[in-house]
């Protein structure tokens, strides 16, 4: 099974994260330029701490149990799902090739992909796929995005999904799912430079768009667990207490106001990391500005994070609402629950927009 497949169908989005599993089911309404989406199901189930570490599944039974739980709680009958991968074992790269036939391109991609892999590893260890982004007859070139993922990592995710009674028909990449939901929301102006930043528990997924065209993808080994660890270290609270404090709730005798300096210190650290990545993008792609940053992911909700990033990076920073142009079927979803989950569901929504065969 490749990272992308060929048969067309709208799938259930299943986002398997280090701290929780999210599921989203959409219904396509209308056709052509009038096509829109209606939210049918949305749910979250926790994943035990250390069941997934640095994107690698350590406890497949715990993960498959969480998947089974969220599908059952939401009474989702469809079992054909889209899942995604991210982290250090997933590599995304844009490459420019001369215009060539599909067969020639497939061979050229295999040669180019060898530069992806760490020493001693090669195609036998990785699943490889690619898609043509743009053909430019004027200069005789084409832009192609290459994706490689370690087979053992991908197979571990697929096994957990199958154990939960679901059928994974498409494997996506987090940064592509994020880009997909942004494009559906039609938020961008044609001349904008936008950073989509999804802050998960262990990794931050980032894609840069110039004029609504994605040109740079990066998974940063930085996640919201750093806030949790800092609160546990500084204030002696449990992991559960730290999670509540991150969400702006009092816990174990501590108040959100009391622990604010600890949260701010980690937010400053994240601003440094994000700033370095943005500077690398600017220098590599000769882009001299950034118009705004859109934050998503569960850890994007940490109090004060958007303000600190905006001040440090001197750019507009806002939380991204993946549901802003999606209708709600209030017979099956609770609007209050949708607002509560909010920007943390961006990847799940992006996956639920996928059809088998998407590139």
121 pLDDT tier (thresholds 50, 70, 90): confident
Residue of 91 and 73 predicted with greater confidence: 73
115 pLDDT tier (thresholds 50, 70, 90): confident
Residue of 289 and 31 predicted with greater confidence: 289
Query: 314 and 326, same structural domain?
Result: no
Residue 26 included in any domain? yes
Report whether 327 contacts 38 (CB < 8 A): yes
Q: What is the mean pLDDT of residues 212-240?
A: 94
CA-wise closest residue to 259 among 226, 229, 234:
234
Q: Using the 8-state DSSP alphabet, how is residue 202 labeled?
A: S
Predicted pLDDT of residue 35: 81
What CA–CA distance (Å, rounded) separates 34 from 18? 37
What CA–CA distance (Å, rounded) separates 265 from 143? 40
What CA–CA distance (Å, rounded) separates 41 from 333? 6
What CA–CA distance (Å, rounded) separates 187 from 172? 22
Query: 52 and 194, same structural domain?
Result: no
CA-wise closest residue to 290 among 342, 216, 350, 343:
216
Predicted pLDDT of residue 3: 53
**Structure token digits, residue 102:** 């599909």
6 pLDDT tier (thresholds 50, 70, 90): very low
- Containing structural domain, residue 224: 188-319
| pTM tops 0.75, yes or no | yes
Predicted pLDDT of residue 358: 62
Report whether 172 contacts 83 (CB < 8 A): yes
**How many domains would you assign to the chain?**
2
Residue 143 included in any domain? no
Percent of the chain topping pLDDT 70: 94
Query: 74 and 12, same structural domain?
Result: yes
Q: What is the mean pLDDT of residues 78-83?
A: 94
Query: 216 and 169, same structural domain?
Result: no
Query: 237 and 216, same structural domain?
Result: yes
Please list the residues that pair with 316 across neighbouring strands. Answer: 292
User: Domain of 222: which CATH number?
Assistant: 3.30.420.40
Predicted pLDDT of residue 273: 96
Predicted pLDDT of residue 29: 87
The mean predicted confidence, pLDDT, of the chain is 91
């Amino acid at each position: 099974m490749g990272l992308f497949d060929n048969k067309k169908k709208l799938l259930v989005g299943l986002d398997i994260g280090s701290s929780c599993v999210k599921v989203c089911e959409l219904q396509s309404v209308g056709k052509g330029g009038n096509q829109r989406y209606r939210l049918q199901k949305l749910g979250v189930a926790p994943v035990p701490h250390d069941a997934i570490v640095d994107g690698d599944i350590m406890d497949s039974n715990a993960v498959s149990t969480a998947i089974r739980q969220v599908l059952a709680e939401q009474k989702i009958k469809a079992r054909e799902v889209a899942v995604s991968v991210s982290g250090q074992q997933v590599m995304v790269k844009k490459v420019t090739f001369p215009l060539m036939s599909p067969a020639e391109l497939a061979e050229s991609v295999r040669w180019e992909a060898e530069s992806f892999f760490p020493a001693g590893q090669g195609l036998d260890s990785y699943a490889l796929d690619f898609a043509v982004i743009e053909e430019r007859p004027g200069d005789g070139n084409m832009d192609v995005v290459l994706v490689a993922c370690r087979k053992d990592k991908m197979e571990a995710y697929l096994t957990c999904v199958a154990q939960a009674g679901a059928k994974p028909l498409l494997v996506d990449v987090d940064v592509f799912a994020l880009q997909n939901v942004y494009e559906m929301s039609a938020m961008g102006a044609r001349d904008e430079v936008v950073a989509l930043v999804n802050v998960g528990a262990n990794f931050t997924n980032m894609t840069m768009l110039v004029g609504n065209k994605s040109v740079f993808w990066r998974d940063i080994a930085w996640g919201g667990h750093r806030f949790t660890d800092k609160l546990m270290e500084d204030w002696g609270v449990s992991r559960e207490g730290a999670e509540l404090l991150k969400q702006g709730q009092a816990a174990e005798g501590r108040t959100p106001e009391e622990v604010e300096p600890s949260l701010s210190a980690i937010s400053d650290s994240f601003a440094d990391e994000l700033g370095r990545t943005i500077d690398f993008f600017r220098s590599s792609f000769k882009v001299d500005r950034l118009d705004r940053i859109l934050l998503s992911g569960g850890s994007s909700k940490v109090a004060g994070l958007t303000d600190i990033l905006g001040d440090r990076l001197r750019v507009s920073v806002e939380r991204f609402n993946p549901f802003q142009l999606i209708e709600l079927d209030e017979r099956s979803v609770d609007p209050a629950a949708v607002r509560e989950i909010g920007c943390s569901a961006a990847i799940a929504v992006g996956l639920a927009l996928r059809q088998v065969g998407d590139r």
